[in-house]
Amino acid sequence: MTYLFFRYHNPLEFINAQTDHHWLQNALISKLSSFGMIDYILAIIIILTTVYWWRRRKSFAIYSGLFLLIPLIGGQFGGYLRYALMVFPLQFMLFEHLRNKKFAYTVILILFGMGWTYITLQYAAGYVIS
């Protein structure tokens, strides 16, 4: 922002640049319609994660809840799954809940490991997963 201030005399010039490319001009409702089924399921799971951690560890609940705000603040819903890569309380919740169920714990661990690996590799290759 310091560079933008000295170069363009506006520290928030990046917002103008996004507006010029029509990234911040569409209505929120129209962007919510671009949500896919996986995005809705993920949003519900993040809400459940936030509720789950609220009584156990509020910092995890707040951290998880803030991930719901990422697309709302930026208005970008494409690639919502990329944001979920960093919602570690979600995995902790599932692992804690399934701790005594060895088979389910192993299956979830393998599925999440494969899923996160796939999403990370797709993101690293430049693909938008949505």
What pLDDT shows up at residue 60?
85
Tell me what percent of the residues of the chain surpass a pLDDT of 90. 2
85-110 mean pLDDT: 80
Please tell me the distance from the alpha carbon of residue 62 to that of residue 47, in angstroms, as a whole number. 11
Confidence of residue 29 (pLDDT cuts 50, 70, 90): very low
4-13 mean pLDDT: 85
Q: Closest Cα partner for 77 from 124, 14, 31?
A: 31
Domain spans, the chain: 1-26, 34-124
Please tell me the distance from the alpha carbon of residue 92 to that of residue 90, in angstroms, as a whole number. 5
DSSP string computed for 81-111: HHHHTT-HHHHHHHHHHTTT-HHHHHHHHHH
* pTM exceeds 0.75: no
What pLDDT shows up at residue 78?
61
What pLDDT shows up at residue 115?
79
